[in-house]
Amino acid sequence: MAAEREHEHVRVAVIGSGFGGLGAAVRLRRAGVTDFVVLERREAVGGTWHDNTYPGCACDVPSHLYSFSFAPNPDWPRNFSGQEHIRAYLERVADNFGLRQHIRFNSEVELMSWDPDELHWTITTGQGHQYTADFVVNATGPLSDAKIPDIPGIEGFSGKVFHTARWDHDYDLRGKRVAVIGTGASAIQVVPAIQPEVEKLTLFQRTPAWVMPRADRKISGAERWLHDKVPATRYLRRQLLWAVREMQVSAFAKHPNVLGLIETLATAHMKRAVKDKELRRKLTPDYRIGCKRILLSNNYYPALVKPNVDLVASGLKEIRGNTLVAADGTEAEVDAVVFGTGFHVTDMPIAHRVKGADGTTLAEKWAGGMEALRGCSAVGFPNFMTVIGPNTGLGNSSMILIIESQLNYMVDYVEKLEALGGESGKVALDARPEAVEAWNNHIQDRMRRSVWNTGCDSWYLDANGRNTTVWPGTTSEFRRVTRELRLEEYEVRRQTPPGSGGTGGQTVKSVSGAAGRGAATAAFHAAEEG
């Protein structure tokens, strides 16, 4: 069987089997496309929900909104479900929609290259298998590759070191002196989960986070029964959760000054648990709430006031033997270091493995900052789209809503390729530079008045200080602008007919560059007015 798969041609190759990859697989099958594979580097589905198994791991989006609209789950156990429940949900999606026959596990992509003559992608995996695909959906996601800072002296540390996304369950933290580096979403879940069992916990905080109460509770058996037997109640619950978050967007994207009231609520939440004024000072951010992602927790602040917890309000500078030294000179001797330092979001490693039409990698193309038409298509990478691409992230709602919108775009992309190809053979669509430029200029223009660009240092910003991560609008706007692929924003490439003397794909320019720019700008204006 392995020999038969040494080389395989498919119509579509999907990279990754998290929410984006499994969603793409479901939508492809529903569109009548069954000639596809899902290449997954792990041994099971789930993506980030497979990798992140740290203590306390849970979602900060309500469960009934953090699921596919086409695969509702009436049996969520809590308002905010834990990692194990979300991963189990994704396993059921794979089973219920017959996706496992398409999935190739332990198949990490080492290289993807566009062949301009054959108009297809050549994909090589770590197993040595090679695939060719007419169309590629990159669904690796921005939270897939852990980011560990280069700390001087870390190689000389004799204790245990790991990232929250690669939790070492064989290492017993009980009675150990543990340092947690970072105060992001993972760290505020880990700290209260491990605090009761460690001897000493030292939290290195470079920047404090705004933390709001987490309205979590167990969903009763009666509610779950009702959602199962009367689907309309489940739908109504989802719509209410969605609507509340849609109404919040204006404050984040256009009127950040009104968020001062939310800061007051967050400060009151802190004061209820933290009585020490000096500790409160260290925990109070100096930036507008929402500039960095707002965190939700009921047990983070109570954990910080426990006698076995120390907060170091300074980033980790270096490691000397088993002693961690902060930028302000504070020292802590520890047995284990846990990095809660996030992921490669604006510099995704997969980009180094994707070579476009001219041999340039996606990482090289994005050296000055990520840019993609409608968050999907990069210039010079035909028949290739990214799910959760540049400027598609959300700061207050469910990414599943964005994913489903992009899957609408994916289906229309595949259908247009089929229609354009007809009986004449293969065809490819490459995003026009002027359309991508217009789209991204408009996004960056709109971003200037948003809370995300009010001056804090967040993972939303790339190395050049540009916000290439967040979508500056509502999810309903995004759905409108990704409802269909607009051919005027793409160049159509066809295979050169045999015997014509050509050396590769022939470009057919259907409209002018001005039309491409106009289409992107008009679409954005339509979204704002709609």
How does DSSP assign 370-439, residue by residue? ---BTTTB-TT-TTEEETT-TT-B-SSS-HHHHHHHHHHHHHHHHHHHHHHHTTT--EEEEE-HHHHHHH
pLDDT of 422 reads: 75
Q: How far apart are CA 391 and CA 371, in angstroms?
A: 8
Summarize the confidence of residues 119-137 as an average pLDDT: 96
The DSSP code sequence of 228-271 is: HH-HHHHHHHHHHHHHHHHHHHHHHHT-GGGGHHHHHHHHHHHH
- 269 backbone dihedrals φ, ψ, rounded to 5°: -60, -40
Contacts of 71 (CB under 8 A, 6+ apart): 26, 92, 93, 96, 97
Which of the two residues, 127 and 524, has the higher pLDDT score? 127
CB 47 within 8 Å of CB 2: no
Classify residue 132 by its DSSP letter. E
Query: Do the Cβ atoms of 136 and 121 come closer than 8 Å?
Result: yes
Mean pLDDT of the region 499-516? 50
Please name the amino acid found at residue 430: D
pLDDT tens digits for range 329-375:
999 999 999 999 999 999 999 999 999 999 999 999 999 999 999 99
| φ, ψ dihedrals at 92, nearest 5° | -65, -40
Q: Tell me: the pLDDT tens digits for 3-34? A: 445 689 999 999 999 999 999 999 999 999 99
* Structural tokens at position 203: 């939290």
Single-letter code of the amino acid located at 215: A
Buried b (16+ CB within 10 A) or exposed e, 238-257: beebbeebbebbebbbeebe
Instruction: Calculate what percentage of the chain has a pLDDT beyond 70.
Output: 92
- Locus of tokens 């001062």: 260
Average the pLDDT over 123-148 and give the result.
Answer: 96
Q: pLDDT for 440-479, tens place per residue?
A: 999 999 999 999 999 999 999 999 999 999 999 999 999 9
Residue 524, pLDDT > 80, answer no
| 76 contacts 220 by C-beta, under 8 angstroms | no
Three-class secondary structure of residue 120 per DSSP: strand
Q: How many CB atoms lie within 10 A of CB 456?
A: 18
Paired tokens of 239: 């719509």
Q: What is the pLDDT of residue 424?
A: 65
pLDDT over 60 at 439, yes or no: yes
pLDDT at 1 over 70: no
- What does the DSSP 8-state code read for residue 128? S
DSSP 351: G
- With cut-offs at 50, 70 and 90, classify the pLDDT of residue 509: very low
Q: What integer pLDDT is reported at residue 530 of this predicted model?
A: 43
pLDDT in tens, 173-211: 999 999 999 999 999 999 999 999 999 999 999 999 999
- Location of structure tokens 């009761």: 196
pLDDT of 423 reads 66
Report the half-sphere exposure of 30 (CA within 13 A, side-chain side). Answer: 14
The CA-based angle 148-42-97, given to 5 degrees, is 130
Give which of 211, 196, 162 is closest to 51, Cα–Cα.
162
* Over residues 128-146, mean pLDDT: 96
**Which element (helix H / strand E) includes 441?**
helix 433-447
Please name which of 159, 158, 187, 45 lies closest in space to residue 102, comparing C-alpha atoms: 45
Kindly tell me if the per-residue pLDDT of 480 is higher than 90.
Answer: yes
Is 78:217 a contact under the CB 8 Å cutoff?
yes
Going by the DSSP 8-state scheme, the letter that residue 126 receives in this structure is T
Per-residue pLDDT at 529: 45
pLDDT exceeds 80 at position 214:
yes
> What average pLDDT does the chain have?
93
Mean pLDDT of 124-141: 96
Please tell me the predicted confidence (pLDDT) of residue 499: 52
pLDDT tens for residues 400-432? 999 999 999 999 999 999 999 976 679 999 999
DSSP category for residue 306:
S
pLDDT score, position 512: 43
The region of weakest confidence among 277-281, 377-381, 491-495 is: 491-495
Residue type, 421: G
pLDDT exceeds cutoff 70 at 528: no
Full-model pTM: 0.93
pLDDT of residue 503: 44
Spatial contact of 391 and 471, defined as CB atoms under 8 Å apart = yes
Q: What is d(CA 456, CA 293) in angstroms, rounded to the nearest whole number?
A: 11
